[in-house]
Homo-oligomer: A and B are copies of this chain.
């Protein structure tokens, strides 16, 4: 393989592999071709393939298992419950969140919602409202918004606790990263009734936008959280 432009070889290969990944060339269940196979396909050495894959592993898009192969990172039940869930007990341990769906309907998106999802203003969205319990206590009221066009019939399905697994399995939409914005708010009437709160209790409002393999915003999720026994945790490096 010749070196083009000024980008190092491994970076070019990384982009080619990533592009192949996005195009759905390999199933999310089977391993990728082995490093040696990819090496001969791209006509570079195994070490170069390895370095390319290193980057994708660092981005959490792939993971490796010595002796078995390299796989696409999926949101499966076990890890998905924790990977994108930053609420923990005050001692740092993480509770297992449970979900209770309250409703699931379609409606026209508001301006700021459509902007966040990068769909035309006024497009129809699917709204899921659900209550989440931690250690048995109702702690979070969660509003989930996705494009109806992108997730047809989602509102007619049985929604599992881990939605990202459903997106991946049934819609071929793979969530790779998310951005969260956090504010302090006071609860509105809906939150007060579902979480059974005093109106003066301050809440954490988490606004999350989740992105897919193409780095397109796919889901807007607004969570209202009571933070008595639980705290939002974040590591800085």
Contact = CB atoms under 8 A, between A and B. Distances in A.
Interface stretch (A120-128, A153-161, A180-188): A180-188
Total copies of this chain within the assembly:
2
Contacts of A83: 236
Contacts of A235: 177-180
Interface string A181-223: 1111110000000000000101110011000000000000000
* Prevailing SS type, chain A contact patch: strand
A4 interface: no
**A58, A232, A234: most-surrounded residue (chain B CB, <10 A):** A234
Given A177-B235, A236-B177, A200 B186 contact: yes
A90 B183 CA distance: 10
A84 interface: yes
A148 interface: no
A108 to B, nearest CB: 23
A172 interface: no
Contacts of A118: none
A34 interface: no
A209 to B, nearest CB: 10
B236 A84 contact: yes
A149 interface: no
Given A179-B233, A182-B233, A183-B227, 15 more contacts: A59-B237, A84-B236, A178-B235, A178-B236, A180-B233, A180-B234, A181-B231, A182-B231, A183-B204, A183-B232, A184-B227, A185-B202, A186-B202, A200-B200, A204-B204
